[in-house]
Structure 1
Amino acid sequence: MARKIFVGARIFDGERFHDDKALIVADGRVEAIAAGNDLPDGERVTLSGGVLSAGFIDAQVNGGAGRMLNDEPSAASMAIIAGGHRPYGTTSLLPTLITDTSEASTAAIEAATEAVKANRGVAGLHLEGPHLAPARKGAHLAELMRPVEDRDVKAFIRAREAIGTLLVTMAAEQVTVAQVRELAEGGVTVSIGHSDCSSEAAEERFDAGARGVTHLFNAMSQMGHRAPGLVGAAIDHPSTWCGIIADGHHVDPKALRTALRAKRGEGKLFFVTDAMSLVGSEKDSFTLNGRTVRRERGGFCSKLVLSDGTLAGSDVDMISTIRYGVTYLDLTLAEALRMATLYPARFLRLADRGYLSPGARADLVHLTDALTVTATWLAGETV
C-alpha cells in the first residue's frame, strides 16, 4: 500500500479545522486524520504552516491557459484548461461549452467522455446553451438559441451516462417542466440560467428536479417586490444551489452578502469562476464567436468585455474568489473554503470529493496564511 503522511499544516476537512494533526493518504484516498504522535509508516510530506484542504471544484470553466473549449472541444483542450487552473488550487472542474452548434456540443460530449477517464482533473462537462433566452443572452449568440426538444432530452441522458457528470444550463422559457423532470430522473444536473422567467416558472422547474441556478444575479430576471424573478426564486427555494462569480465586477458585494444571509436550507451559494482563456495566460484579448474580448485591468481583478462593454466571462481564478469572499463578503475562511469545495461537490453529486474524511479522493491544495497556493495533489500525487 502506497501511503503518504501530510504534516505541518492545519487541516480543513470540509467542516472544521484540525490543529496539530496529520492527514494520512493511502492509494490515492484519505485514510485518516490522526494525532501526530500515532502515525503509521509512510512517505512524509512536511508543510510549512498554512492550511491543507480538499482541492477546489469549479463547475463553470470556459477556458484557461490560453485555450477556449469552444475553439477546440477536444480532450486535449480540456487537459490544457484543467492544467491552467491547477496552480490556483482547482483539482476538479467542468469544462464549459457556451452556446454553439450541435456539432460542437457533440464533440464536447465525446471529449469529456475521454477526459474524465484520464482522471486528471476533468470531472464532467457543463453545457451552457444553446437552450437559453435571447432576452438574457449576455455574451452568447442569440441566433443559436432554441427550445429543448425531446430528442435533446434523450441525447443529454445518453451523454450523462457516458460522461458520468453532466451539467446543463437552460432558461425556464426553453424547457418544459416535464422535460426537466425527465432530465433529472436521468441523472442530468439541470441549472436554470440566462432566463427572463417569472419566479413561478422557476419554482415549478426547481420542484421538478432542477438543482440550481447559473451565476446568480447575472443574465436573469431580477428580484422586485411584487415580481421576485429568478433571483428571488433561487434564494427562496430551500434546495436550490446557486453558483456565484465573486470577482468584484459581476455582482456588487452588497447583493452577494444579502443573498448569503438570506439563503437557507440544503442549497447553498458556491463559487464558480466562469473563467475564459486568459486565466493563466499573459494575453490581453481573445476571440469569442468572431468577436474580440479584451482584458481591462483594474479593481480586485481584471474584467473581460466585448466592444459594447458587455461582460464576457471572467478573469478570476478560484483562490482569488476565496480571498474575495473573506475580504469583501464577511465569510469565515471555513465557509469560503466550503464554497469552493464541499458545496460544489454536493451540487454536482461528486460523492468522494470536496472534503477530507476516510474514503474521500485525496485531491488536495496547500494554502499559505495569506491565501496563496503552494501545491496541489491529484489522488495524493503532486501535480
Structure 2
Amino acid sequence: MAEYFTEQLFDGYVFHTNTRFEVKNSLITSLTPNSTPGDATTLEGLVMPAMVDVQVNGGGGVQFNEAPTLATLQQMANAYLSKGTGSLMPTLITDNINTMQQGADAIAQALQWNAGAIVGVHFEGPHLSIAKKGMHSAQVIRPLGEDEFALFTRKDVGKVMVTLAPETVSINDIKRLTEAGVIVSLGHSNASADECLAAFDAGATGATHLYNAMSQLTGRAPGLVGSALHRNNIYCGLIVDHQHVHPISAELAIRLKGDNRLMLVTDAMAPAASEADHFSYHGMKIYRKDNALKLDDGTLAGSILTLEEAIQNTHFDLNVALQSTLKMVTSTPASFLGLQSNIGILAPGAIANFTTLDKNLAVQQCWRNGIKEY
C-alpha cells in the first residue's frame, strides 16, 4: 500500500485541493480532498489520471501494422508512458485479413500483459471510401465480409473500435456490429448527411479525426463533419497538432461538442515519442519533415503528436480551460470506450494509472498500476 498527497489533483472531471489518496494492489482505494499530508508521500505539481488515446498507430519507433506483435505493443505503451499516456487503443490501419488477425492475437496477449495499458484495438478500415482514403492502401480497402465480422467480434481483445465509411457498409451490418458490442466510428468517408445520420441511428457513436478524410460541412450539404457536430451524443476525435486542423476549426469543434463528447487523439505513427525519422506502410516510406508526416503528394500520413503536446496546444494556443482540456484526454475517451470506471479517472476502484504535470503541462512522473515507471 502507498499513500500520496498533492495540493492540486484533477480526478478526470474536476479539480480538488490538498488531496490524499491511497493505492493498493494496483488500484486507487481512497481519495480524500481537503486533507493533510500526514505521513503520505507529497507529489509536486498537478496530479491527474494517465491519459487515454483511442487512436494510436505506432510510437517509440515501431508501427503496429508493420510488426503486429506483443513486443511492438509493449514498446508503444512504454514510450507513451513517458508522455503521460497510460492507456492505448492501438490502431491497425487498412490491411489484409492476415495482418489484422495477427494484430488481434497480439492485442489478446497484451491484455494478459497489462489490461490497463492496452485496453483493446481500433481497426481503422478496411471498409472505407476510396475517395477519402488518405494514406490508406486502396489495394486492401474492401467490403465487410464474414472474416472481418468474426474478427471484430472476438471476445479476447478487450474493447473493439472500428472506423468505417457508412456509404460502404450497410445499415444492417452497422447494427450487427454495434449489437455485438463493437464501437463503430465513422471516418474516411464521403457520405451524405442522411447516410451519416442513418449510421448514427443504427448505433455508430463516433467520428474519427474530425475534419480529416471526411465529407465537409457546407451550406447545403452538412456531410460527416456537420452531422457529427450536430448530433449531441456523438463523440469526435480531434488531432490538435496545428497540422491536421486549423486552430479556428478546432476551437469551434470544442465549443460545439463540449468536453463531454470531444476527445483529443494523436493518430500517431512510429516516429512519435522517438527519434525515428520515418515509417513504412505497404511498401511506402513516409518521412518526418517540418513536424509532420506526409506522402510525396502532400497528403498527411498520421502525426507525430503526443497527448502531452495535444493538451499544451489546446490549453495554451486555443485558450481552452484547463479542466475541459484535461477531461478530453481522460474521462471523456474512457467514457467513449465504456471504461470510465477503470481508466481516465482517479477514484476508488480505478486502476492507479496517474501522472504529474508541471505548470507548462509537461509530464514529470508517471505511475502505471500503482508503480512509478517514469
TM-score for both structures, normalised by structure 2: 0.95
Using the alignment, how far apart are the partners of 1:97 and 1:153 within structure 2? 15
Q: 1:97 aligns with which of 72, 92, 102?
A: 92
Tell me the residue number matched to 1:23. Answer: 21
**CA displacement at 1:285 relative to structure 2:** 2.1
**CA displacement at 1:46 relative to structure 2:** 2.2
Q: 1:191 aligns with which of 156, 181, 185?
A: 185
Using the alignment, how far apart are the partners of 2:294 and 2:180 within structure 1? 37
Q: 1:374 aligns with which of 361, 364, 372?
A: 364
Q: Secondary structure, in 3 states, of the residue corresponding to 1:83?
A: helix
Using the alignment, how far apart are the partners of 1:211 and 1:294 within structure 2? 33
1:363 aligns with 2:353: yes
Could you report, residue by residue, the CA deviation over 1:40-74 in whole angstroms, capped at 9, with x for unpaired residues? x7xx43222x1100110001111111100111101
1:276 aligns with 2:269: yes
Tell me the residue number matched to 1:200. Answer: 194
Using the alignment, how far apart are the partners of 2:10 and 2:2 within structure 1? 17
**CA displacement at 1:267 relative to structure 2:** 5.7
**1:129 alignment partner AA:** G
1:178 aligns with 2:172: yes
Q: Secondary structure, in 3 states, of the residue corresponding to 2:215?
A: coil
Could you report, residue by residue, the CA deviation over 1:147-206 in whole angstroms, capped at 9, with x for unpaired residues? 11244323311x2x1112111111111211111111111111111100000011111111
Using the alignment, how far apart are the partners of 1:132 and 1:12 within structure 2? 38
Tell me the residue number matched to 2:316. Answer: 327
Using the alignment, how far apart are the partners of 2:260 and 2:227 within structure 1? 12
Using the alignment, how far apart are the partners of 1:174 and 1:24 within structure 2? 49
Q: Secondary structure, in 3 states, of the residue corresponding to 1:96?
A: strand
1:85 aligns with 2:74: no
Q: Is the 8 A contact 2:6 2:17 kept in 1?
A: no
**2:294 alignment partner AA:** V
Q: Secondary structure, in 3 states, of the residue corresponding to 1:377?
A: strand
Q: Is the 8 A contact 2:307 2:329 kept in 1?
A: yes
**1:308 alignment partner AA:** D
Q: Is the 8 A contact 1:64 1:279 kept in 2?
A: yes
**CA displacement at 1:38 relative to structure 2:** 7.9
Q: Structure 1 residues 38 and 290, CA, compared in 2 at 3 Å: closer, same or farther? A: closer
State the number of aligned residues: 370
Tell me the residue number matched to 1:36. Answer: 35
Residue range with higher mean Cα deviation, 277-286 or 243-252: 277-286
Tell me the residue number matched to 2:51. Answer: 56
1:261 aligns with 2:255: yes
Using the alignment, how far apart are the partners of 2:357 and 2:209 within structure 1? 26
**1:352 alignment partner AA:** N
Which stretches in structure 2 are left out of the alignment for 5+ residues?
none
Using the alignment, how far apart are the partners of 2:269 and 2:218 within structure 1? 31
Structure 1 stretches of 4+ with a deviation exceeding 4 A read none
TM-score for both structures, normalised by structure 1: 0.93
Residue range with higher mean Cα deviation, 184-193 or 8-17: 8-17
Using the alignment, how far apart are the partners of 1:38 and 1:319 within structure 2? 28
Tell me the residue number matched to 1:45. Answer: 41
**2:66 alignment partner AA:** D
Q: Is the 8 A contact 2:273 2:304 kept in 1?
A: no
Tell me the residue number matched to 1:336. Answer: 325
Could you report, residue by residue, the CA deviation over 1:304-328 in whole angstroms, capped at 9, with x for unpaired residues? 1111111100011011000011022
Q: Secondary structure, in 3 states, of the residue corresponding to 1:311?
A: coil
Identity %: 38
Q: Secondary structure, in 3 states, of the residue corresponding to 1:112?
A: helix
